[in-house]
Amino acid sequence: MDMETVANNLTHGTLDVWITTLEGWRNEEIATTLSQALGIPEVEFLKVAEIGYMFPDTYLLPKEASAGAAAKLFRDNFQAKVTPAILDKAKQHGLTTEELIIIASLVEREARHTDDRPIVASVILNRLEEKMKLDIDATVQYVLGYQTSEKSWWKQNLTLEDLKIDSPYNTYTNSGLPPTPIANPGLASIVAVVDAPKTDYLYYVSDKVGRIHPARTVEEHNRNVAKYID
């Protein structure tokens, strides 16, 4: 069933509403958009929405759409866009679909620029292979949740205490991947994982404008930190 058919099946009248969900959003951010646009209770959407699979896109929904209908539309779009060919590539990397989407969600949150995504994906895959902790800020941001002072679900400046937070999602204190995706990745980040270049990069730093600077060694990484952050 294509997306037009799904949308038509959801529509019972002419009072349709366009909504856009963005790459890297948490389910809570989607829930807020649905609540504001359609009056869908946020808690109802969060009950049925599976993090990582609420595909970011622009959608036409009927004004009376339910939380379940919206979540199904997003999930059906995920299945349409994330093709069997992409999933086959993931298997060739030894990744399950869930692992692919978890890594893609990390890439989505860490890389602001499309051309940086493959490098971030490569670093993550290399660190997993080397049994190194991922040390990804976005996983800590996910745990910390909504920041009232910033009016954002993603805290901007993490402290050393933040990095010690006790959670299975904290990749500074736990090895391997977090238990679930931390956001809903777009297609570019998903493809970046399955098409990640073969590199020997194990580190990266994001500069003040969001560009990624990778490194092979701790020493090289520390020089990048001094150059681009300090």
Under a CB-based contact definition with an 8 Å cutoff, are residues 46 and 3 in contact? no
Q: Residue 131: how many CB atoms within 10 A of its CB?
A: 8
Under a CB-based contact definition with an 8 Å cutoff, are residues 136 and 173 in contact? no
Task: Quote the pLDDT of residue 9.
Answer: 53
* Mean pLDDT value across residues 203-213: 92
Task: Quote the pLDDT of residue 72.
Answer: 98
User: pLDDT by residue (tens digit) across 138-156?
Assistant: 999 999 999 999 999 999 9
User: pLDDT by residue (tens digit) across 112-125?
Assistant: 999 999 999 999 99
Q: Residue 54: how many CB atoms within 10 A of its CB?
A: 27
Across the chain, what does the average pLDDT equal?
Answer: 95
One-character DSSP codes across the chain: --HHHHHHHH--SS-EEEEE--TT--HHHHHHHHHHHH---HHHHHHH--TT-S--SEEEEETT--HHHHHHHHHHHHHHHS-HHHHHHHHHTT--HHHHHHHHHHHHHH--SGGGHHHHHHHHHHHHHTT-----HHHHHHHH--BTTTTBSS-SS--TTGGG---TT-TTTS-S--SS-SS---HHHHHHHHT-------EEEE-TTS-EEEESSHHHHHHHHHHHT-
User: pLDDT by residue (tens digit) across 170-205?
Assistant: 999 999 999 999 999 999 999 999 999 999 999 999
